[in-house]
Amino acid sequence: MLGTICAQRFAPGGTADWAMAVGHGAIPQLHVEPIAMHLLDAMTREGFEEVIALHDRESGLRGWIAIHDTSAGPAFGGIRRFTYRSESEAMMDCLRLSRAMTDKCRLANLAAGGGKVVLLDEAHVDWDRAYAALGRKVEAMGGRFYTGPDVGTGEQELSNLVAETRFATDPGPNGPGELEESTAEGVFRGMQAALIHLDGKLDWPSQKIVVQGLGAVGLQLARRLVEHGAQVVGSDVNTERLDAVVKELGIEGLDSTEVLHHPCDVLAPCAMGGLIHDLTLERLQTRVVAGAANNVLARTLHGDRLHDLGILYVPDFVINSGALIRGTIFHLEGRREAVSTIGDRVANMVTEVLDEAVQLSAAPTRVARRLARRRLKELRDSNR
C-alpha cells in the first residue's frame, strides 16, 4: 500500500479546507520544512502506510495520526495527549507507538494492525471541541482506524469523541469495558510467567515488587499483587495519589526519585515510557523489569544492555497488550473476551518469547521484535 503524508486542516463543521498528500493528486506549493523530509525517511524505513498532521483552527488542536499497517485488518491505537517539547518530538513518538502497536497485534495474532494518535497538550486548546473534531476525522477514515484511551485521554474525552465516530472506544456500557483490568491482568500474568521462567516456581510472598505509577492500571496491578501476598512497594509522582493507595492497600510508599535504585525482584513501570536509558541502567537493583508502560526502553540497545547485566526485561509490547486484545475483539467480533482469558494469552506470549530468547541466547526485546516482524513480513507477502 502506498505510504502518504497528509497534512489535514479542519474547517468549521469538520470538512477540510486544504490538504496535502504525497502521491494523491496535486500538491499545493508549500514550503517544505525539514520535519517533512525526516518523516518520509522514517516512513520508508519502517513501512508506514500513512501519517496525518492534524490542525483544527476552531479548537486549536494540533497533533498526528500514524497508520503503520493494515495488512491483517484495521489499525488500532489510543490517543496520547502530552506536553511535548516540539512538533517533531510528538511526531516521532506517534510513529514509535504506532509501530509498537503493529508488533503487539502480530504477537497476539489479532486481525488488526498498528496506529496511534498523538496530540500536543497546549493551554490554548478547547479540548471538548478538539476531541469532537478528531472524532469527525476518525469517522471520515471509514473504519480503517479505531482509537481509544491512552495517557491524557479519559472518559470525558472519549465521550466527546464517540459522539462523532463509530470507530472509538465508548467509555460507557456500550463499549468493551474493563480495559484497565485487562491490561493489569496481562501484566500480572506476564510477570508471573517471567518469575517462573527465572526460578522454576512461584512464591509470591517472597517477591518484592515495585510498582512505578499508580494510575488506573498500576493500581489494578498493585491490588492483584497484594491479593496474592507479594511485598508491594508503590511509587507515584502524584503524592496525594500515592498516599491514598498506600492507605487503601496497606503497602509501602516510595519517593519517585528512589524507584530505580530500590532493591526488588520486579520493577513494574506503569507510567510514561523512556525509563531505561544510559543514565538509569547502572542504578537498577532488580531481577526483572515488567510493567504496563509503553516504550520503557529509550532505545532497543538498552534491552541488550539489560540482558548483559543479567536483568530479565519482558518487552512492553508483549506484556501490556491486554486492553488491545479486549478492544480489538470487541470492535471486530462484537464480544467481550474474559479478562482471565486475556491473562492466559499474555502469559503464553511471554513464555514463548522468553523460551526462544534462551534458545537463541538473545535479549527478549530482540527476539520479540524479530518474531513480530517475521509474522508481519509473512502476512504482507501473502497479501501480494
Catalytic residues: 116
Residue 267 near residue 213 (C-beta atoms within 8 A): no
312-313 sheet: strands from edge to edge: 252-254, 231-235, 208-212, 264-269, 286-289, 312-313
Give the C-alpha separation, 340 to 364, whole Å.
Answer: 24
Q: What is the DSSP string of 224-264?
A: HHHHTT-EEEEE-S-HHHHHHHHHHHTPEEE-GGGSTTS-E
Q: Kindly give, in sequence order, each residue whose CB lies less than 8 Å from that of residue 309, ignoring residues fewer than 6 positions away.
A: 281, 284
Can you read off the three cell numbers belonging to residue 185? Answer: 491482568
DSSP one-letter code for 13:
T
Q: Kindly give, in sequence order, each residue whose CB lies less than 8 Å from that of residue 279, ignoring residues fewer than 6 positions away.
A: none
Measured CA distances, 248 to 40, 227, 242, 296 (Å): 49, 13, 10, 27
Measured CA distances, 242 to 111, 222, 237, 238, 264 (Å): 38, 12, 8, 6, 19
Give the C-alpha separation, 64 to 137, whole Å.
Answer: 11
Listed as own residue / partner, the contacts of 234-242 with beta carbons closer than 8 Å and 24 or more positions apart are: 234/210, 235/210, 235/211, 235/259, 236/212, 236/271, 237/271, 238/214, 241/214, 241/215, 242/214
SS (H, E, C) 49-99: CEEEEEEECCCCEEEEEEECCCCCCCEECCEEEECCCCHHHHHHHHHHHHH
Phi, psi for 237 (deg, rounded to 5): -65, -20
Helix 179-199 to helix 339-360 angle (10° resolution) is 40
Residue 275 near residue 296 (C-beta atoms within 8 A): yes
